[in-house]
Amino acid sequence: MTIIVTGGAGFIGGNFVLDWIATTGEPVVNLDKLTYAGNLETLKSLEGDSRHTFVEGDICDRALVDSLLATHRPRAIVHFAAESHVDRSIHGPGEFVRTNVEGTFTLLEAARAYWNGLEGQAKADFRFHHVSTDEVYGSLGPNDPPFTETNTYEPNSPYSASKAASDHLVRAWHHTYGLPVTTSNCSNNYGPYHFPEKLIPLMIANALAGKPLPIYGDGQQIRDWLYVTDHCSAIRTILAKGKVGEVYNVGGWNEKPNIDIVKTIIALLDELKPSAEGSYARLITYVTDRPGHDRRYAIDARKIERELGWKPAETFETGIRKTVQWYLDNQDWVQNVLSGAYRDWVAKNYAGREAV
């Protein structure tokens, strides 16, 4: 038995591959293009492990995907590969449409051809799991109930629009062709191996470097945080027990305004790695807001809890402490990531954001 994972050198995919091999022992073929967000350092502990086969390649490459399916005969595809950063999608949406829409289409077509060629139990057991986001549902008002699986789609950024399009393709390939798919829409993840362009790792990295902590707008935007290994266990649960054609919302019941997240990180760093210059709070800097910034996301995770028995293991307090400690203990991983390309991105994204 083998599964194919796409995007397994990224943040969540990398955590998933490590977690999957540690918990199930089942081999993984990991297809990843190694964009700026892909990092083989994350998978270093699997070097020489025959259960992990890494393939550098593009999910838009149909011939490559066909040959991987023919060679490895997987029982499932778990699809993480995507362009994932909202700010980058505002600066350059083209790559988001290519990878997230065309890439998902290519995978679905290859999976459909492969699945049509399977027989008996192998055909009945095959699954295509699509990893998506709560951002497809749009933005909530302060008193709206959290997103359920039947919420209307109202994507607001080029990123969320491209993910919404990919969700629709997955749904249609099941409805029209019978492809055995499941989809999960998850809230904001955090934890080890998170690329330091996203809020939590960026704040940790900037604080340790004595750089400003850029808070977009008023800092009162709300996200619902989930520790990454809880997302991995949710996907494992869906693969094992999820119903074909169903969507599962995954979240940690941890709604927090951004400024509170930053203050929590500051308190932990003040405790674990105090600065000679005083509290890291001195670095908080309010900057120009993200265009079209969604105000609030929140996930109603009761369906996966009720139907599949999944629950997150970490609270925000335990997860954020582990995360800050991981970054303190793994500064070499962070330094490897802070390449020339990363510095170019920081210059581009923050240059136009005056302190306000």
Q: Closer to ligand DAU by CB, 52 or 130: give it.
A: 130
> What is the per-residue binding string for ligand DAU in 172-191, x denoting contact by CB under 6 A?
---------------xx---
Instruction: With CA atoms as reference, report the closest residue to 167 among 131, 114, 138.
Output: 131
CA 305, CA 51: separation in Å to the nearest integer?
30
Q: How far is CA 112 from each of CA 100, 195, 268, 310, 322, rounded to the nearest angstrom?
A: 18, 33, 48, 29, 40
Cα 216 to its chain centre, rounded Å, is: 21
Q: Residue 262 class from Cβ within 10 Å (0-12 exposed, 13-18 middle, 19+ buried)?
A: buried
Q: Closer to ligand NAD by CB, 232 or 268: give it.
A: 232
**Residue 202 interacting partner from ligand NAD, ligand DAU, none (CB closer than 5 to 8 Å by kind):** ligand DAU
**Residue 216 interacting partner from ligand NAD, ligand DAU, none (CB closer than 5 to 8 Å by kind):** ligand DAU
Which of 33, 85, 256, 263 binds ligand DAU (CB under 6 A)? It is 85
Which of 3, 18, 21, 38 binds ligand NAD (CB under 6 A)? It is 38
**Residue 11 interacting partner from ligand DAU, ligand NAD, none (CB closer than 5 to 8 Å by kind):** ligand NAD
Query: Contact 232/20 with Cβ under 8 angstroms?
Result: yes
CA 106, CA 77: separation in Å to the nearest integer?
13
Query: Contact 99/205 with Cβ under 8 angstroms?
Result: no
**Residue 192 interacting partner from ligand DAU, ligand NAD, none (CB closer than 5 to 8 Å by kind):** none
Find the binding residues for ligand DAU in span 281-300 (CB under 6 A). Answer: 290, 297
> What is the per-residue binding string for ligand NAD in 49-68, x denoting contact by CB under 6 A?
---------xxx--------
Q: Closer to ligand DAU by CB, 49 or 354: give it.
A: 354
Query: Contact 61/106 with Cβ under 8 angstroms?
Result: yes
The yes or no reply on residue 99 touching ligand DAU (CB under 6 A) is no
E strands, 178-308, are 181-186, 188-190, 213-216, 222-227, 247-250, 255-257, 284-287
Backbone φ/ψ region at 73: left (φ over 0), alpha (ψ -120 to 50), beta: left
Binding part of the chain for ligand DAU, among 17-25, 148-156, 214-222, 269-277 by CB under 6 A, reads 214-222
CA 66, CA 63: separation in Å to the nearest integer?
5
Q: Closer to ligand NAD by CB, 116 or 339: give it.
A: 339
Find the binding residues for ligand DAU in span 117-156 (CB under 6 A). Answer: 133-135
> The tokens 């065309």 sit on which residue?
102
Q: How far is CA 38 from each of CA 41, 54, 84, 202, 274, rounded to the nearest angstrom?
A: 9, 12, 11, 17, 31
**Residue 204 interacting partner from ligand DAU, ligand NAD, none (CB closer than 5 to 8 Å by kind):** none
User: Looking at the annotation, which residues are catalytic?
Assistant: 134-135, 159
Q: Closer to ligand NAD by CB, 9 or 203: give it.
A: 9
User: What residues make contact with ligand DAU under the rule CB under 6 A?
Assistant: 84-86, 133-135, 187-188, 198-199, 202, 214-216, 221, 223, 258, 290, 297
